[in-house]
Structure 1
């Protein structure tokens, strides 16, 4: 594992008072094609009970993954879905969506989940929205002999020397791929991701160690890796849980304001006018 750069998730608040930890780059130079990672992790419902009431998006893809608890998703396209533990959901918002994500009433044991934003290329930002989730098919898993379990969330994944597994959600912008890797104590995984130009991992549990210097990376760190080197991930004595991201940079200038990510300030101003005029629709 060759670490190019590292970032720490920062405490933040979004929605109706939801406490999160966030890693973001809206200058679009460090994580392209990804823009942002939000992690919600709490056993105290006061940290998330307010949820995310109806709000708009344009020009991005939102990808939600739940490890514990759940949300009910609603949008102006008519989708109403409960997203629970191990489920994923993808909204390629294109020209516009209005959606809400509210905690499920029967999810009483806390919440642990992620929302990832992926940029869209300029030529696709104004196309119709697309919705997909994994609730019917589930997300496939692969296990190796070294204490590693890989859950494919978006795209196709495989350990070196093993068969590929294919997530039900495919076709994210920037050829983006996302997986959840769970490592037992001192577990190890090897992945060849050289077919993508960007690779990163976010550690949500435990720690990773590198050889030969035994440098340690801990929970809450986001590591950008050399995609052209074999990705070798070794857990410490506590084991580790991490999200893996891979994709191809879009390399376009972006302008960001709240829930909108476009290519020019003029397009941002038009998005605001369209939303205020009700052209996004309503739930």
Structure 2
């Protein structure tokens, strides 16, 4: 596994005072088609109890994955869904979505989850929104004999040299996006061939990941670090006594310049101004 770059998530706040750790790049687009990844992880409800009251989006896809606790999602399309531990939710917002995400009252064990933003190609930014979740079905998973477990959250995945491939019910993400949760037991390891993608990233959310860098030096990535990998190198993930949990993001760059302002990501300043005007004039509708 060749690591091209390593970044550390930075503390931030969003919604109604929700504390998060964030990786984002809206300027250089080094993670294209991915724009941002937020991690919420706390046992203290004061860090997330305010949730995310109604707010709009245009021109992006949001992908939410919950590991502990949960949110209730509401949007102007009429979707009212509890998103609980193990669930995935995908919104291709297109021309406009207004939604809210508020903590579930019966989630008593803290909250751990992720929200990922993907850019949309210009030709799709004004299409009708799409909503899908996995609240009524389990995400498919596969184990190898070396203590590695792979859960397909979006797209299709499999271990190298294993003829079995698993496919999530969530397909069609922008930029051919594919997302998975890889957990490694103590001294666990697993190999994935990701050469079909041009963008491959791994976020360490627990434990430590061991690798050798491009100079042949032994390195360790710890929880809260985001790795950009060489997709042309067969990716071998391994850990030692700590074990590890990784969120894997793969895709193909859209390669389009963007302009963004808050929840809107478009391709020109004029399109941003139109998005703001449309929202102010009520064209995004309201949550039911």
Q: Normalising by the residue count of structure 1, what TM-score does the alignment of the two structures yield? A: 0.99
Q: What is the match of residue 260 of structure 2?
A: 256
Q: Is the 8 A contact 1:58 1:125 kept in 2?
A: yes
Q: What is the match of residue 125 of structure 2?
A: 125
Q: What is the match of residue 183 of structure 2?
A: 182
Task: Please say which of residues 213-222 and 84-93 is displaced more in the overlay.
Answer: 213-222
Match of 2:218 among 205, 214, 224: 214
How far did residue 136 of structure 1 move? Answer: 1.3
Q: What is the match of residue 158 of structure 1?
A: 158
Alpha-carbon distance in 2 for matches of 1:197, 1:261 = 22
Q: What is the match of residue 81 of structure 1?
A: 81
Partner SS state of residue 107, structure 2: coil
Correspondence 1:35 to 2:39: no
Partner SS state of residue 210, structure 1: strand
Match of 2:276 among 272, 275, 279: 272
**Moved runs in structure 1, 4+ residues, more than 2 A?**
211-214
Q: Which string of whole-angstrom CA distances, capped at 9 and with x for unpartnered residues, describes residues 33-67 of structure 1?
A: 00000000000000000000000000000000000
Partner SS state of residue 218, structure 2: coil
Alpha-carbon distance in 2 for matches of 1:197, 1:61 = 19
Q: Which string of whole-angstrom CA distances, capped at 9 and with x for unpartnered residues, describes residues 196-225 of structure 1?
A: 111010000001112464311111000000
Q: Which string of whole-angstrom CA distances, capped at 9 and with x for unpartnered residues, describes residues 241-265 of structure 1?
A: 0100100000000001000000000
Q: Is the 8 A contact 2:154 2:171 kept in 1?
A: yes
How far did residue 237 of structure 1 move? Answer: 1.3
Alpha-carbon distance in 2 for matches of 1:270, 1:210 = 46
Q: Which string of whole-angstrom CA distances, capped at 9 and with x for unpartnered residues, describes residues 173-232 of structure 1?
A: 000000000000111010000001110100000011124643111110000000011000
Q: Is the 8 A contact 1:206 1:236 kept in 2?
A: no
Alpha-carbon distance in 2 for matches of 1:254, 1:213 = 36
How far did residue 28 of structure 1 move? Answer: 4.5
Q: What is the match of residue 136 of structure 1?
A: 136
Partner SS state of residue 216, structure 1: strand
Correspondence 1:8 to 2:8: yes
Q: What is the match of residue 246 of structure 2?
A: 242
Q: Is the 8 A contact 2:29 2:35 kept in 1?
A: no
Alpha-carbon distance in 1 for matches of 2:194, 2:92 = 24
How far did residue 160 of structure 1 move? Answer: 0.6
Alpha-carbon distance in 2 for matches of 1:28, 1:275 = 27
Q: What is the match of residue 99 of structure 2?
A: 99
Q: What is the match of residue 173 of structure 1?
A: 174
